[in-house]
Amino acid sequence: VEKVRLLEHRAGQRKPTLGTLYLSATHTIFVENHPETRRETWDFRVIHLLFPQERDCVDEEREKSWSFVLPSHDYKRMGLPNNLWVATAANSEYKLFDVSHSLQLEEDEQMLTAVMKANPGSDFIYVVDTRPRLNAMANRAAGKGYESEDHYANIKLHFSGIDNIHVMRSSQQKILDVFIARAVADEGVSVLVHCSDGWDRTAQACSVASVLLEPYYRTIQGLMVLIEKDWVSFGHKFSHRYGHLDGDPREVSPVLDQFLEVLWQLAQQFPCAFQFNERFLLDVRTHVYSCQYGSFLGNCEKERCALRLQERSFSVWRRLWKDREQYVNPLYRAEQGVLRPNTTPYCFKMWKGLYSPAEMPPPPPQKPADILSTVREGSQQLEQELANQQERLATLTGEPISYQRVEVPRRKIRQSQLRYSGPDPPTMYSYPTTGPAQDHDSSHGISKPASEKTQQAGAGLCLPLEPLGSGKGHDPDDLSSDLESGVADLSAGDELIGGREGDQTGLSSD
């Protein structure tokens, strides 16, 4: 116990000594905090420690839990505030004044102009309305209209078409809309996102875009910061959406559940791009409903302040961070790039861990993460041993290391063997041609003459053995390629990205 004051009455001491008290089963040890003496006092008597309230014992731990994840830390990581963005305390007391419609329109125009000017490389700004266009037009009667390109200069309006909470369960594909990520990554344009209120669909769209764009949000701590910043701080109505209290059942909707499932679906397409595993997502969802921690209680920051949750409860993030070892994905590669998922329906899978946990296979005696980690460590040791032996060989012979080209004969594959199963697209392969020769080029695909295809099918597969350090950006510890990690190179143009997607699917439609 730190910061303990010892007062020895028998020695006539009037000023207490500050130190640390160590408790054991048989005695106590008091160590003074003085750096020179560090005097120890051993006491073998029976003592009783009395605390006025139990919460006095955990005040310090509670304060640490609430200060572990803060949106201000993420803004600082991004270099904010700077000469283009400033922090304001205008709404620190949650008492923003009301304004008339005309004044609000004028201030909105000024705000959008300021956001556009904050990005020197953009001459316009995208305004993404997550509602369907018809819903936005109908909301005008309730004072929740949308921006008109006639009134706002240099904006481009885009409707994502995500329905409200009453039909949210059928909006999985629309939530994974990559328009925002493409606008930022490919065009370098700023994007302003809103819906009718801003605490449901806006949080989903911005969070998904952040995960696609920023690798930091694919880490364990990064996802904590993202949920705290885009959901908790922006006023997602946790108490209403997840039925924490008796209320209107029409307000209940699994909005955050859908975001967590989007992360799981992305992890299925890009298994090496996320530091966390499925268990971390399931535990986050569990605590959203459990009400065990104060992080997901209340409908907004104002309610949480009124309930004094930081004085009466703990934050969930520090608890999850202490258990982070069981949440690590052993396949994770810290790649820097943008994720470009395939949003066609056949790429979505059922999340059995959430919707049907009884169908999940029993865990093996040894965790798969431990097995993969052991295999990876062994591979790294073999690679290091190979490099050492090559250096020794070069030293003994006095000649540089040479590499040979090995010709591996290709095994002939019958037409009936070229099959694939599951929702993932088939890999690239060539079908043997038995029909007449063809030579035509169309927008759907390119066919080659039968003689050329037959020649390609019988050719051998050439595998050049290159040094471990050769190649652009090659990492000797990297056991996955860009396609495996799901990370696209920003230096590649749209044609290259589109070509890869076409090659991966290997399918064409009339």
* Residue 350 CB contacts under 8 Å (≥ 6 apart), including other chains: 356
Long-range contacts of 281-287 (CB under 8 A, 24+ apart): 282/353, 282/354, 283/320, 283/327, 284/223, 284/227, 284/260, 284/316, 284/320, 285/256, 285/257, 285/260, 285/354, 287/316
Alpha-carbon Rg for the chain in angstroms: 30
Bin 54: left if φ > 0, else alpha if -120 < ψ < 50, else beta. Answer: alpha
Got the DSSP string for 476-509? Answer: TT--S-HHHHT-B-TTS-HHHHHHHHHHHH----
97 token code pair:
């004044």
What is the Cα–Cα distance from 40 to 378, expressed in whole angstroms? 48
196 annotated ligand-binding residue: yes
198 annotated ligand-binding residue: yes
Catalytic-role residue among 57, 195, 206, 272: 195
* Residue 137 CB contacts under 8 Å (≥ 6 apart), including other chains: 145, 146
199 annotated ligand-binding residue: yes
305 catalytic? Reply is no
Got the DSSP string for 362-373? Answer: PPPSS-HHHHHH
185 token code pair:
């990554």
200 annotated ligand-binding residue: yes
195 annotated ligand-binding residue: yes
Helices (H) and strands (E) in the chain, counts: 19, 11
Residues known to be catalytic: 195
Binding-site residue positions for substrate:
164-165, 195-201
Q: Can you say which residues are annotated as belonging to the binding site?
A: 164-165, 195-201
